[in-house]
Structure 1
Amino acid sequence: MYYSKITGLGYYVPENVVTNFDLEKLMDTSNEWIIERSGIQERRFFTEGKDATATMAAEASKMALQKAGLQAQDIDLIVFATLSPDYNFPGSGVLLQRMLPFREIGAIDVRAQCSGFIYGLSIADQYIKTGMYKNVLVVGSEIQSNVLELSTRNRNFAVLFGDGAGAVVLQATTNPQHRILSTHLHYQGQYAEDLMLEHPGSRLKQRIWASMVEEGKHLPVMQGQAVFKHAVVRFPEVIREALQANGYTETDLDLVVPHQANLRITKYIQQVMNLPDEKIVSNIQKYGNTTAASIPIALCEAYEQGRLKVGHLVCLAAFGSGFTWASVLIRW
């Protein structure tokens, strides 16, 4: 029987650091207000001509491959999670495939927003379990700064998000002691419009019109209270679902790596699950919400800091637009 094991991790963040004080100059906000609302102190914005969703993914992938001791030619499949692809089509997976010396392998693009990386892990895990593939690259990469209007009318959204990429290599193993134990995926589409970017979309006969920007129709929208209300329920719920499916409880956890949505949400998870600081990873203060990239970036940093030990029970969890939420439990 085959299982899947994470053998390499990598990440990339743009060099352009944007602080709350920088945003104060562009909109009616303050460093104190942003920190109180989200915990974010700074984030990274891409540099045009240097960074793109696919190029950032390539940099993260290079690191992950190196850590795994593999070459690009060894990879059998790419799973690419993003809500900000380079083009409307084709997907960013094929762009990544041509940037490194991969073989002519398949590339699957995943659109599950903040849960996208965990959805990608689930897909890769299933391919490995069936024996179809032995080495799968899973990537989350986002450029969101250029869809944000850095203005007072969009400040509730604009202060939260940043750019970056993370990647992991999954390899087949026959060792049941160190592997992905289970993945758990959910959607609740009735709340789709509470967090969305509607235009330009395909529902209307006219996708783009002259006054779209003036009217703000091109901007993402979020019902912040509704998102927060659901997130603080779904995060603990889906973590416990993963634990119960494998016969564990909260006390067995060694590390939780949540999607970096909001520091208040992370603190709430800690409180209701009675998790001490050393058992939870939080880096939203430095990067903001990088959506599908946030978990692999945080996971890679935790590894670099020595917080991931062999034998640790690790849970990754996410909640986001859709509403979607998901978790994966790993015996490291």
Structure 2
Amino acid sequence: MYNSKITGLGYYVPENVVTNNDLKEFMDTSDEWIQERTGIKERRWIDPKTDDNTSSMGAKAARIAIERAGLTKDDIDFIVFATLSPDMYFPGGGVRVQDMLEMPTIGALDVRNQCSGFIYAMSVADQFIKTGMYKNILVIGAENHSGGLEKSTRGRGVTVIFGDGAGAAILSRSEEKGKGILSSHLHSEGSHARELMLDGPATGRWVPEIIAENNPEDQSYFPYMNGQFVFKHAVVRFSEAIVEGLEANNLKKEDIDMLIPHQANLRIAQFIQKKFGLSDDKVHNNIQKYGNTTAASVIIALTEAWEMGKIKDNDLVVLAAFGSGFTWGSVVIRW
């Protein structure tokens, strides 16, 4: 069995900054209302005048990660692409990135696990490397939320939360024992699937049906979230996933050097930080300036923390996420 370790990181966010005050132009809200409930001050939304989309943002982040890993596009053996907002219903973003980067005809796998998508994608890539099948895998989390949000007072409970962006990691084979990904832990609870979802267009509620109804009150094609219900489950499952990862490696919460939680809500991250007794320098949050970028949030935050020098050699880094599905999980890394 080989080990897998992160050898390159990169992220990309659109240049267009949308502040809480900007949102007041088309919905009844305020900076105070949004910050109190989410901790978000601003987010990045794709400017329709640019050529940014889910796949192109992923490709931009990937180029940075590949270069930082000291590799070329031809060294990548496989792509794992996590998103809930692909450019088209099918095919997925993985093959689009393969084309954009002019890579050889390597395999590309799309992961649809929403907020925990990057955790799942890392776990999949880790297994491919540990079994010896691949040597270098490009793992991407990317989202274009702004194109599908209901930008009105009716949709503000969801719309104020989400932002656009992408992050990428190169996972490479290593024979160094005790370093790299130590373990990953994945869970789901589908009985709560409808508490955080987008109902259509999908095969269960397809485009002709929606058009035929011509119902302006129909919200099925906008994201829906039962906020309080999700919050209550998130704080429990976040904690369980972190504890599970620590126990699997005979570690304690005091051993954590850096926790990168999914940037769903600053209040959730602060609750988890307090529960585990972690100081501010051991948790990295950036939801304040990027909002919730779903499958991209963990990898953007991880890259940013690394760029800021918050993660050093031999540090114990824990990634954790919870979201739609419900799905949740953690990845424990010895840097």
- Report the TM-score, using the length of structure 2 for normalisation: 0.97
Instruction: Report the CA distance shift for 1:207/1:139 in structure 2 as closer, same or farther (over 3 A).
Output: farther
- What is the letter of the counterpart of residue 13 of structure 1? V
The answer to whether the Cα contact below 8 Å between 1:201 and 1:207 also exists between their aligned partners in 2 is: no
Partner of 1:249: 252
Partner of 1:71: 72
Partner of 2:25: 25
Partner of 2:228: 225
Deviations 1:85-120 (A, max 9, x none): 011011111000000131100000000000000100
Deviates more, 1:68-77 or 1:208-217: 208-217
Match of 2:265 among 252, 262, 265: 262
In 2, the alpha carbon distance for the partners of 1:63 and 1:213 equals 43
In 1, the alpha carbon distance for the partners of 2:312 and 2:128 equals 26
Aligned residues: 332
- What is the letter of the counterpart of residue 209 of structure 1? I
In 2, the alpha carbon distance for the partners of 1:291 and 1:207 equals 28
Partner of 1:144: 145
Deviations 1:213-241 (A, max 9, x none): 54222211110010000001011110010
Partner of 1:182: 183
Match of 2:210 among 200, 208, 215: 208
Q: In the TM superposition, what is the alpha-carbon distance from 1:162 to its structure 2 partner?
A: 0.3
Partner of 1:308: 311
2:211 alignment partner, SS class: coil
Instruction: Report the CA distance shift for 1:11/1:24 in structure 2 as closer, same or farther (over 3 A).
Output: same
2:210 alignment partner, SS class: coil
1:94 alignment partner, SS class: helix
In 2, the alpha carbon distance for the partners of 1:64 and 1:19 equals 28
In 1, the alpha carbon distance for the partners of 2:33 and 2:331 equals 33
Q: In the TM superposition, what is the alpha-carbon distance from 1:329 to its structure 2 partner?
A: 0.0
In 2, the alpha carbon distance for the partners of 1:150 and 1:36 equals 20
Question: 1:1-332 counterparts in 2 under 5 A?
Answer: 1-48=1-48, 49-204=50-205, 206-210=208-212, 211-332=214-335
- What is the letter of the counterpart of residue 23 of structure 2? L
Deviations 1:184-243 (A, max 9, x none): 000000000000000111114654324255422221111001000000101111001000
In 2, the alpha carbon distance for the partners of 1:207 and 1:314 equals 47
Deviates more, 1:199-208 or 1:129-138: 199-208
The answer to whether the Cα contact below 8 Å between 1:199 and 1:207 also exists between their aligned partners in 2 is: no
Mind listing any 5+ residue stretches in structure 1 that lack a counterpart?
Answer: none
- What is the letter of the counterpart of residue 301 of structure 1? E
The answer to whether the Cα contact below 8 Å between 1:10 and 1:168 also exists between their aligned partners in 2 is: yes
Q: In the TM superposition, what is the alpha-carbon distance from 1:146 to its structure 2 partner?
A: 1.3
Deviates more, 1:70-79 or 1:212-221: 212-221
In 2, the alpha carbon distance for the partners of 1:237 and 1:217 equals 32
RMSD across aligned positions (CA): 1.0
Mind listing any 5+ residue stretches in structure 2 that lack a counterpart?
Answer: none
In 1, the alpha carbon distance for the partners of 2:127 and 2:114 equals 20
In 2, the alpha carbon distance for the partners of 1:198 and 1:126 equals 32
Q: In the TM superposition, what is the alpha-carbon distance from 1:25 to its structure 2 partner?
A: 1.7
- What is the letter of the counterpart of residue 145 of structure 2? Q
In 1, the alpha carbon distance for the partners of 2:216 and 2:57 equals 28
The answer to whether the Cα contact below 8 Å between 2:199 and 2:205 also exists between their aligned partners in 1 is: no
- Report the TM-score, using the length of structure 1 for normalisation: 0.98
Instruction: Report the CA distance shift for 1:161/1:18 in structure 2 as closer, same or farther (over 3 A).
Output: same
In 2, the alpha carbon distance for the partners of 1:253 and 1:215 equals 46
Instruction: Report the CA distance shift for 1:234/1:58 in structure 2 as closer, same or farther (over 3 A).
Output: same
Identity %: 59
In 1, the alpha carbon distance for the partners of 2:287 and 2:142 equals 16
In 2, the alpha carbon distance for the partners of 1:199 and 1:170 equals 34
